């Protein structure tokens, strides 16, 4: 059934992870309805404590307040900016040439926590930890692990909705190529000096399976509804916003929707202020097969995507975003 949401649905993850069979089934159905229609939900009881969120935001605010010559010590274009710092305007949305008005910092799997017996370890670069911000490493690793656990629970619910075994994604996400992205939408002191089409984050879909987003420091996130209307994404302080990414849309042959979203510029009188945001992009292992599921293909829903692995798809998209040459 097609639904036009005026706001994204709010769900309680505890009803899935610790509820009765009826509560668990209701969570799965509501999640599936949302992901087939708007691609976004807000969830509470996700395990990410406010105290940890506050510490993490304090860490990244401290880092982004450092001089550019210090921040660029942690910039690694030779690895496609997949770890460490990415400078202002370096990333642009697919199909655009104008860089977004943001800078960010990437944290991936901590290699010391991956056993040597797992060959995936050789695929990942080392994390870069800014020596100037002592608590940065511990805060980021703790948040990464917490969000990874919440994402795993969400994928269990998605698997059930898709009539797959509940643990369908488990072996595909263990030590997956997930990224914690800590974003600073920097102040614009002179709006007339930037390109007329420059925005904080142009309209785009996420690359990954699902994205888990902790509350941003200011408004601005919008999602494109099926009828072409942009609606604001708002979540309570105790909620995470969780949306479908392009990999999950491919796998489900568009049954689940990777909805286009954006971060708009603030009013002109607020352009001099910062906005901070921390999404967790949940990626599978590179070898995951994203071939459309057979139960998502029929006469009225023909297969819409070429077969590809998660690693191949990621490389293609990083080139489109200007992060890989």
Query: Using H for helix, E for strand and C for coil, what is the string for the chain?
Result: CCCCCCCCCEEEHHHHHCCCHHHHHHHHHHHHHHHHHCCEEEEECCCCCHHHHHHHHHHHHHHHCCCHHHHHHHECHHHCCCCEEECCCCCCCCCCCCCCCCEEEEECCCHHHCCCCCHHHHHCCCCCCCCCCCCHHHHHHHHHHHHHHHHHHHHHHHHHHCCCCCCCCHHHHCCCCCEEEEEEECCCCCHHHCCCCCCCEEEECCCCCEEEEECCCCCCEEEECCCCCEEECCCCCCCEEEEECHHHHHHCCCCCCCCCEEECCCCHHHCCCCEEEEEEEECCCCCCECCCCHHHCECCECCCCCCCEHHHHHHHHHHHCCCCC
Is 136 among the domain residues? yes
Is 11 among the domain residues? no
Q: Please, are residues 154 and 45 in contact by the beta-carbon 8 Å criterion?
A: no
Distance spanning both ends of the chain, measured CA to CA? 42
Is 126 among the domain residues? yes
Is 8 among the domain residues? no
Q: What domain range is 27 assigned to?
A: 16-320
Widest distance between CA atoms in the chain: 58
Tokens of 225: 């509804």
For the cut 90, the answer to whether the pLDDT of residue 119 exceeds it is yes
Is 262 among the domain residues? yes
Q: Pick the residue with more confidence: 194 or 136?
A: 136
Rounded Cα–Cα distance for residues 39 and 8 (Å) = 9
Rounded Cα–Cα distance for residues 289 and 274 (Å) = 39
What was the pLDDT predicted at 219? Answer: 75
Residue-wise pLDDT for 55-73, tens only, equals: 999 999 999 999 999 999 9
The pLDDT confidence band at residue 282, using thresholds 50, 70 and 90, is very high
Tell me the pLDDT of the chain averaged across its residues.
91
What was the pLDDT predicted at 49? Answer: 93
CATH number at residue 269: 2.60.120.330
Residue-wise pLDDT for 151-189, tens only, equals: 999 999 999 999 999 999 999 999 999 999 999 988 887
For the cut 60, the answer to whether the pLDDT of residue 259 exceeds it is yes
Q: Which of 37, 140, 204 is nearest to 29 (CA)?
A: 37
Q: Please, are residues 91 and 317 in contact by the beta-carbon 8 Å criterion?
A: no
Is 10 among the domain residues? no
Question: What is the number of structural domains in the chain?
Answer: 1
Tokens of 203: 């309209």
Q: Please, are residues 17 and 47 in contact by the beta-carbon 8 Å criterion?
A: no
Is 254 among the domain residues? yes
Q: Please, are residues 164 and 223 in contact by the beta-carbon 8 Å criterion?
A: no
Cα pseudo-dihedral 197, 89, 316, 279, rounded to 10: -100
Tokens of 185: 């939408």
What was the pLDDT predicted at 2? Answer: 62
Is 105 among the domain residues? yes
Q: Which of 251, 110, 128, 106 is nearest to 183 (CA)?
A: 106
Residue-wise pLDDT for 299-320, tens only, equals: 999 999 999 999 999 998 888 8
């Amino acid at each position: 059934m097609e639904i036009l949401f005026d706001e994204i649905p709010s769900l309680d993850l505890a009803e899935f992870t610790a509820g009765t069979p009826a509560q668990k089934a209701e969570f799965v159905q509501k999640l599936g309805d949302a992901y087939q229609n708007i691609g976004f939900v807000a969830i509470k009881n996700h395990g990410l404590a406010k105290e940890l969120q506050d510490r993490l935001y304090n860490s990244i605010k401290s880092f982004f307040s450092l001089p550019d010559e210090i921040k660029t010590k942690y910039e690694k274009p030779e690895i496609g900016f997949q770890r460490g710092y990415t400078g202002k305007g370096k990333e642009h949305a697919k199909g655009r040439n104008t860089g977004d008005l943001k800078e960010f910092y990437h944290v991936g799997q901590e290699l010391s926590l991956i056993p040597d017996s797992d060959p995936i370890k050789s695929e990942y670069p080392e994390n870069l930890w800014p020596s100037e911000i002592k608590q940065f490493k511990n805060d980021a690793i703790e948040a990464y692990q917490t969000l990874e656990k919440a994402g795993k629970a969400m994928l269990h619910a998605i698997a059930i909705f898709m009539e797959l075994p509940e643990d369908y994604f488990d072996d595909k996400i263990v030590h997956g190529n997930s990224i914690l992205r800590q974003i600073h939408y920097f102040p614009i002191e002179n709006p007339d000096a930037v390109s007329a089409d420059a925005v904080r984050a142009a309209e785009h879909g996420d690359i990954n399976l699902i994205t888990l987003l902790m509350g941003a420091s200011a408004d601005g996130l919008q999602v494109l509804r099926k009828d072409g209307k942009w609606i604001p994404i708002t979540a309570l302080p105790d909620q995470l916003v969780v949306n479908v990414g392009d990999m999950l849309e491919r796998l489900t042959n568009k049954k689940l929707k990777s909805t286009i979203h954006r971060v708009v510029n603030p009013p002109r009188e607020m352009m001099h202020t910062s906005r901070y945001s921390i999404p967790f992009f949940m990626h599978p292992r590179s070898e995951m097969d994203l071939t459309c599921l057979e139960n998502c293909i029929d006469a009225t829903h023909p297969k819409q995507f070429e077969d590809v692995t998660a690693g191949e798809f990621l490389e293609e998209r990083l080139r489109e975003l200007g992060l890989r040459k």
